[in-house]
Amino acid sequence: MNRLILTVGLPRSGKTTHARTLGFPVVQPDAVRLAVHGQRFLAAAEPLVWGLVDVMVRSLFLAGHDAVVLDATNVSRKRRDQWRGRAWSREFHVLTTPADVCLDRAGEDAEMRRVIGCMARDWEPVGEDEGTGVPVNGEAWGG
């Protein structure tokens, strides 16, 4: 069965660095955003961005890849559940980099610091009923 690897972690937690080490095609909503509208985030464009991400993931599987990485924060169960029940199994690579480390990495970028704070407050651990979990930075994952 095809395998969709979802990164789970705050912005600046190391998701992209990790995703690149896996050796599989990577779909990155942040790159789609920049390609579509040239900004990190534009609320009105999010349905289009996620529609394109969905098409990209499905296309890579249809092209014969048996594993694809979705490099996104995926910090909420609602976001992760959007990838459930498809023609693949889900595997979560959870980066539990502490929020203060992510904030340090964001430097003086006020908007990124705000996003990190919001996502840290909204973090929902990956539940054991969601799929296979892989703790990337050595800490326990899920519920």
On whether residue 115 sits in a domain, the answer given is: yes
Q: How many domains does the chain contain in total? A: 1
Integer Cα distance of 129 and 10 in angstroms: 22
pLDDT in tens, 53-71: 999 999 999 999 999 999 9
Alpha helices in the chain (DSSP H): 15-21, 29-37, 46-62, 77-81, 99-106, 110-122
- Contact between 119 and 73 under an 8 Å Cβ cutoff? The reply is yes
On whether residue 141 sits in a domain, the answer given is: no
Q: Containing domain of residue 93, as a range?
A: 3-135
Output DSSP code: residue 40.
Answer: S
pLDDT in tens, 65-99: 999 999 999 999 999 999 997 789 999 999 999 99
CATH number, residue 46: 3.40.50.300
**pTM exceeding the 0.95 threshold for the entire prediction:** no
